[in-house]
């Protein structure tokens, strides 16, 4: 190798917006969560997402470039680190590689949080419904650890529909940790845990409550189980995050209940966001 050809060879790029992985946990062969260092300047509203990813070689040019996807921040805004909850898709462009990260590895994180699953996009109400399927629970993991969620609403209901029981672990451990969180209790007041309701369901494996949440709403079962009335625009607010088919179906149902879709610029009664599926 001559000097000139060495000088022309592409240099290893320095990772732009690199953050270091601090922890990884695998839940099932389809799901894992991980934590990364938080850029000192990053401020975000509970429920927002950022673009994260890895460097990847462009087949045509041979240059390394970032491969990025939208990931909801699952950690609360007061946390020193950032937490994410992800699907693993064996032939997915990003998650086929991302699932192998380990503490000490670097990922790319663009520090520009955005999103519609935020308190600002909803008008004041009495009861907040958080409807999730699969990894769609991630933004709610942040919102449920935000004291504002409990000061703004008298009651908060999280529904989580997954295929299998093992896919509920992240959510059930989250709810347990929130209910026993002394700092949250000090901030919000004693008994706040009773105002947080959790309604997990599975569709492809036996569990105490089976069925899609949409079907359980149509039949009225979920309202009977929780002892609350079906949604009404005067009292109920909703945030939705899941797969596309679910989002579309529940959106139509919420409209039938009389709720209207809100946005940051125009708060209304419900908001929707698609969970990332590689």
Site residues, ligand A2P (CB under 6 A): 133-134, 161-163, 203-204, 212, 214, 243, 245-246, 249
E strands in 134-243: 155-162, 196-202, 236-242
Q: Minimal distance in Å, beta carbon 49 to ligand A2P? A: 17
Q: Minimal distance in Å, beta carbon 178 to ligand A2P? A: 22
Q: Minimal distance in Å, beta carbon 156 to ligand A2P? A: 21
Q: Which is nearer to ligand A2P, 36 or 98 (CB)?
A: 98
Q: Which is nearer to ligand A2P, 117 or 275 (CB)?
A: 275
Q: Minimal distance in Å, beta carbon 124 to ligand A2P? A: 28
E strands in the chain: 18-28, 31-37, 49-57, 64-72, 81-87, 106-114, 127-133, 155-162, 196-202, 236-242, 270-274
Q: Which is nearer to ligand A2P, 33 or 214 (CB)?
A: 214
Q: Tokens in use for 93? A: 């462009």
Q: Minimal distance in Å, beta carbon 86 to ligand A2P? A: 13
Q: Positive or negative, the Cα torsion across 76, 77, 82, 86?
A: positive
Q: Minimal distance in Å, beta carbon 167 to ligand A2P? A: 7
CA 81, CA 58: separation in Å to the nearest integer? 31
Contact 116, 142 (CB under 8 A): no
Q: Which is nearer to ligand A2P, 23 or 252 (CB)?
A: 252
CA 230, CA 148: separation in Å to the nearest integer? 24
- Report the SS3 class of residue 66: strand
Contact 32, 24 (CB under 8 A): yes
Q: Which is nearer to ligand A2P, 51 or 210 (CB)?
A: 210
Q: Tokens in use for 155? A: 């009651």
Q: Which is nearer to ligand A2P, 195 or 251 (CB)?
A: 251
């Amino acid at each position: 190798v001559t000097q000139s050809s060495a000088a022309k060879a592409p240099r290893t790029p320095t990772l732009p917006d690199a953050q270091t992985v601090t922890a990884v946990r695998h839940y099932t062969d389809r799901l894992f969560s991980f934590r990364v260092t938080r850029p000192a300047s990053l401020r975000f509203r509970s429920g927002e997402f950022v673009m994260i990813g890895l460097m990847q070689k462009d087949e045509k040019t041979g240059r390394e470039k970032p491969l990025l996807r939208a990931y909801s921040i699952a950690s609360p805004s007061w946390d020193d680190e950032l937490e994410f909850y992800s699907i693993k898709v064996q032939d997915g462009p990003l998650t086929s590689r991302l699932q192998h990260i380990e503490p000490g590895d670097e990922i790319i994180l663009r520090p520009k949080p955005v999103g519609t699953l935020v308190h600002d996009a909803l008008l004041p109400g009495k009861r907040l419904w958080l409807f999730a399927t699969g990894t769609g629970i991630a933004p709610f993991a942040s919102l449920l650890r935000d004291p504002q969620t409990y000061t703004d609403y008298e009651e908060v209901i999280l529904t989580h529909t997954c295929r299998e029981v093992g896919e509920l672990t992240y959510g059930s451990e989250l709810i347990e940790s929130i209910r026993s969180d002394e700092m949250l209790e000090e901030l919000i007041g004693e008994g706040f845990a009773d105002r947080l309701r959790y309604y997990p369901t599975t569709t492809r494996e036996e569990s105490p409550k089976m069925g899609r949440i949409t079907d359980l709403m149509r039949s009225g079962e979920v309202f009977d189980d929780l002892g609350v009335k079906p949604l009404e625009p005067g009292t109920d607010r909703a945030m939705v995050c899941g797969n596309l088919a679910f989002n579309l179906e529940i959106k139509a149902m919420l409209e039938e209940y009389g709720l209207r879709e809100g946005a940051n610029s125009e708060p209304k009664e419900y908001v929707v966001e698609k969970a990332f599926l590689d």
